C-alpha cells in the first residue's frame, strides 16, 4: 500500500478520512480518527490543528519513556505512531474481574513516568491505559499533558469507580506504596 507520507504529499501535507478508506479504523472521536496502517503503526487524523500540536508535543517529550507510543512521522493534521496491539485496562477488568498486584504496580509506574517525563497531568482515563502483547503498559491520548495540571489521578480513579474497581485499586496502592496512598488521600477523602 501507498505510504502515509506519499498520500499526505499528494494532499498538500494533510490527510482526510477518504485517504484512509483501505485501512482498518480503530476509533473515531471528538479529536479525530485512528487507523491501523501496519502491524506496528497507526495514524491519527486530527480535526483541529491545535489538538495535533498538543498531542505531538507530548509524544515528542515522551519518547524517552517506554510507556509512550513511539513517534514515527507527522504532518499538519496527522501523527503516525506505534500501534499498541493489546487490550486496555477497562477490557482487562471486565474479563478478569479483579486487579492483580502486577497491574497496580504497572499503573503506579505509568503515573510516575508521566511525572518523570515532565507532564503536568499525572492522570489518564481507564480506556487510555493499554497493555501490549508483552504485557507492558502504554498510555495513549496526551493532548492535555501540558495544559491540565493534575498530580492526583482523578480521571483514573473516577473511571475505576464507574467500573466498580476504585476501592480495590486504592487498597492495592495502600499496600504497595503507602506514601502514594497517603499523598492521594487528601484529594479523595
- Greater confidence (1 vs 170) lies with 170
The share of the chain scoring above pLDDT 70, in percent, equals 98
Q: Which residue has the cell 514515527?
A: 72
**Cβ distance 123 to 74 under 8 Å?**
no
Mean pLDDT taken over the chain = 93
Using an 8 Å Cβ cutoff, are 14 and 49 in contact?
A: no
Q: How far apart are the first and last CA of the chain?
A: 54
H or E element in which residue 87 lies: strand 86-88
The predicted pLDDT at position 1 comes to: 66
pLDDT tier, 91 (very low <50, low <70, confident <90, very high otherwise):
very high
Burial of 42 by CB count in 10 Å (0-12 exposed, 13-18 middle, 19+ buried)?
buried
CA distances from 26 to 34, 43, 44, 84, 139 (A): 5, 10, 10, 11, 16
The tens digit of pLDDT for each residue in 126-152 reads 999 999 999 999 999 998 888 888 888
42-79 per-position pLDDT tens digit: 999 999 999 999 999 999 999 999 999 999 999 999 99
Amino acid at each position: 500500500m501507498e505510504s502515509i507520507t506519499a498520500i499526505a504529499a499528494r494532499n498538500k501535507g494533510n490527510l482526510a478520512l477518504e485517504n484512509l478508506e483501505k485501512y482498518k479504523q480503530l476509533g473515531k472521536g471528538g479529536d479525530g480518527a485512528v487507523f491501523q496502517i501496519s502491524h506496528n503503526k497507526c495514524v491519527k487524523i486530527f480535526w483541529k490543528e491545535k489538538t495535533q500540536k498538543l498531542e505531538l508535543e507530548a509524544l515528542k517529550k515522551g519518547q524517552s519513556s517506554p510507556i509512550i507510543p513511539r513517534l514515527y512521522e507527522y504532518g499538519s493534521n496527522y501523527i503516525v505512531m506505534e500501534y499498541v496491539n493489546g487490550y486496555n485496562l477497562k477490557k482487562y477488568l471486565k474479563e478478569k474481574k479483579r486487579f492483580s498486584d502486577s497491574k497496580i504496580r504497572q499503573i503506579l509506574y505509568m503515573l510516575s513516568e508521566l511525572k518523570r517525563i515532565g507532564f503536568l497531568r499525572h492522570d489518564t482515563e481507564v480506556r487510555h491505559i493499554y497493555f501490549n502483547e508483552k504485557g507492558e503498559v502504554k498510555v495513549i491520548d496526551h493532548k492535555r499533558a501540558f495544559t491540565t495540571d493534575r498530580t492526583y489521578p482523578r480521571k483514573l480513579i473516577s473511571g475505576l469507580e464507574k467500573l466498580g474497581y476504585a476501592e480495590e485499586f486504592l487498597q492495592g496502592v495502600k499496600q504497595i506504596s503507602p506514601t502514594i496512598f497517603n499523598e492521594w488521600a487528601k484529594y479523595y477523602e
